[in-house]
Amino acid sequence: MPSRRLFLLSGLALLAACLLPASARAQQAARDFVAGIYKFYVGNNAEGIPLDSPLIGKILTPGLRKLIDDDAALAEKRNEPPELNGDPFIDAQDWLVTDLNIDVKEQGRAAGARVTFKNAGEDRTVTLTLVKTRAGWRVDDIVGATGSLRAMLGPKSR
């Protein structure tokens, strides 16, 4: 009988999800997207997502990815550290993430995700600007204590 009860509960959960308004389903999808990013950062030995990983193309907009790639290429050419000298999803170079909380507010084809967590016991907040593309949600900017990633890497005189 336990499997029958589990089957019934699963069916009810699926029905409830289908009855949610479209905006709630889309918001949940945006939240799931962000949770999918941060699962790589939570817990001991979490490796994060390297910015040169093929996975990053499924996370960032092409414009933001180009800014990051251009920053790395210019730094290599000048034999200097890049402007982005850490992991933007954590706003730090090292991490031990606990107490993760994700709050998403959707506005049409855009969303803002406020991600709060403790990094090695210290409270942190990172805000992601999301855009919905044909391929799904993508991160178009990341704002942490050091400011906007787009502003930091955007056009300026060096």
Residue 115 lies in a domain: yes
The strand pairing partners of 102, in sequence order, are 115
Residue 4 lies in a domain: no
Token pair recorded at residue 144? 């942490």
CA distance 21 to 28: 11
Q: What percentage of the chain reaches a pLDDT higher than 90?
A: 77
Residue 157 pLDDT greater than 80, yes or no: no
Residue 80 lies in a domain: yes
Compute the half-sphere exposure of residue 37: CA atoms within 13 Å on the CB side of its CA: 27
The enclosing domain of 143 has a CATH number of: 3.10.450.50
CA distance 50 to 137: 19
Residue range 97-113, pLDDT digits in tens: 999 999 999 999 999 99
Written as one string, the DSSP assignment of 85-119 is -SBTTTTBSS--EEEEEEEEEEETTEEEEEEEEEE
Find the farthest-apart pair of alpha carbons in the chain and give their distance in angstroms, rounded.
69
Amino acid letter for position 139: V
Residue 97 lies in a domain: yes
Residue 19 pLDDT greater than 80, yes or no: no
Residue range 139-154, pLDDT digits in tens: 999 999 989 999 999 9
Residues near 37 by Cβ (< 8 Å), separated by ≥ 6?
49, 59, 89, 139
Residue 102 lies in a domain: yes
Residue 7 lies in a domain: no
State which residues form the domain around 142.
22-153
Residue 67 lies in a domain: yes
Residue 9 lies in a domain: no
Q: Using alpha carbons only, how large is the chain's radius of gyration in Å? A: 18
Number of domains in the chain: 1
pLDDT for 7? 39
- Band of the pLDDT at 26, cuts 50, 70, 90? low
Residue 1 pLDDT greater than 90, yes or no: no
